[in-house]
Structure 1
Amino acid sequence: MKDMTKDTSAGAAGRRRVVSGDPLGPNSEIGRKLKQYYDELVSDHVPDRFAQLLSELEQAEPARKKD
């Protein structure tokens, strides 16, 4: 009976995946590309007209909440 327990635990240990320094594994390239895209998107310049519209929206919201 003890031999079966040893064999089972040895088999489970043999099936465990080796954890490397890359937490995403095969998806690391996708993650790297998404991070690169996000960083570029965040650093893009906001057009003046769009910034002005956002400012007007922020000013209108407090007045709307009082109603």
Structure 2
Amino acid sequence: MNYGKPNTHRGQEKRGKDSDPLGANSEIGRKLRQYYDDLITEDIPDRFSDLLNQLEQKSTEPAGNKD
């Protein structure tokens, strides 16, 4: 029996040096990154783009020309 300091590296020996220390969390991170990458490559709907353009025009108008 070993009554000394507990072996804190026991799990690391089983996984090996090349394995990911985050385990399942790394897979979640990869899936979130893929989802985000897919999301930012989607086209903006025309209606949303039109609303953004209208907002930009309103914000660049001089203060005296507001409706």
Calculate the TM-score normalised by the size of structure 1.
0.57
Calculate the TM-score normalised by the size of structure 2.
0.57
- The gaps in structure 1 that reach 5 residues or longer are 1-6
1:22 to 14, 20, 23: 20
Give the total of aligned pairs: 57
Cα–Cα, structure 1 residues 15 and 39, in superposed 2: closer, same or farther, change >3 Å?
same
**CA distance in 1 between partners of 2:41 and 2:8 (Å):** 44
Which structure has greater helix proportion? 1
Cα–Cα, structure 1 residues 23 and 45, in superposed 2: closer, same or farther, change >3 Å?
farther
Shift of 1:50: 1.1
Kindly report the root-mean-square deviation, in angstroms, between the aligned alpha carbons of the 2 structures. Answer: 3.1
Query: SS of the residue aligned with 2:20?
Result: coil
**CA distance in 1 between partners of 2:21 and 2:58 (Å):** 45
**CA distance in 2 between partners of 1:62 and 1:47 (Å):** 23
Shift of 1:60: 1.8
Runs of 4 or more above 6 Å deviation: none
